[in-house]
Chain A
Amino acid sequence: GAVVSQHPSRVICKSGTSVKIECRSLDFQATTMFWYRQFPKQSLMLMATSNEGSKATYEQGVEKDKFLINHASLTLSTLTVTSAHPEDSSFYICSARPGTSGGNEQFFGPGTRLTVL
């Protein structure tokens, strides 16, 4: 149980285009989902927290107009990287936390590697 999927696993795009990454909780309802960014050989950096049906809360230094997060249902959150540039190339990982009955543990997706040419 507690499986989180991400799609796509890898994406290559041209500079200036937008890319959408999906994060799904497959066997539980996630009231909260998190988006992290990981640079090579570095730790995870929390980008934003999204709660179903409300606006995401972004960490300091993360541009909300560039990284659009939508948490439209209890099983799906999307991250859209708008007008992507090479410096946006990174490994993006989402996690999901079940409702209050499931405790506060986060379950992680397998990650999406974005390469912007």
Chain B
Amino acid sequence: GNSVTQMEGPVTLSEEAFLTINCTYTATGYPSLFWYVQYPGEGLQLLLKATKADDKGSNKGFEATYRKETTSFHLEKGSVQVSDSAVYFCALNAGNMLTFGGGTRLMVKP
């Protein structure tokens, strides 16, 4: 079956540090890949997505590249802010069903 594996958190960074959150997946076929962000007490917001191999999704300074050869979709940001503190979920969509990773909590300190 389909699965998504993310690095466990929490990830604690200082403001302006570089962020990488690893995500790898297992799926049959050609899934679409997503990163969602969840702020405390809220639902999920779509951060970025990529629908085919070598696509790069980007939004709000975050980016991730769909790597079919390594089945990965790592999330990166060059300079994090305190306001980026949240939980980040990697997900894949195959057969119209979303499969989520376990989530990675990011804490950014001033």
Name A's B-contacting residues (CB within 8 A).
Answer: 6, 32, 34, 41-44, 46, 49, 93, 95, 97, 104-111, 113
Contacts and interface: CB of A to CB of B under 8 A. Distances in A.
A78 B19 CA distance: 39
B58 interface: no
A43 B103 contact: yes
Contacts of A110: 42-43
21 contacts: A32-B96, A34-B98, A41-B103, A43-B89, A43-B102, A43-B103, A44-B89, A46-B97, A93-B43, A93-B44, A95-B44, A97-B96, A104-B32, A104-B96, A105-B93, A106-B98, A108-B44, A108-B46, A109-B43, A111-B42, A111-B43
Interface in B20-52: 32, 36, 41-46, 49
Interface residues of B, number: 19
A24 to B, nearest CB: 13
Main secondary structure of the interface of B (DSSP, over half): strand
Contacts of A43: 89, 100-103
A109 B45 CA distance: 9
Contacts of A46: 97-98
A49 B98 CA distance: 11
Interface in B87-110: 89, 93, 96-98, 100-103, 105
Contacts of A111: 41-43
B99 to A, nearest CB: 8
Contacts of A41: 103, 105
Contacts of A44: 44, 89, 100
A49 B41 CA distance: 23
A107 B96 CA distance: 13
Contact of B45 (A34, A49, A108, A113): A108
Contact of A42 (B44, B93, B97, B103): B103
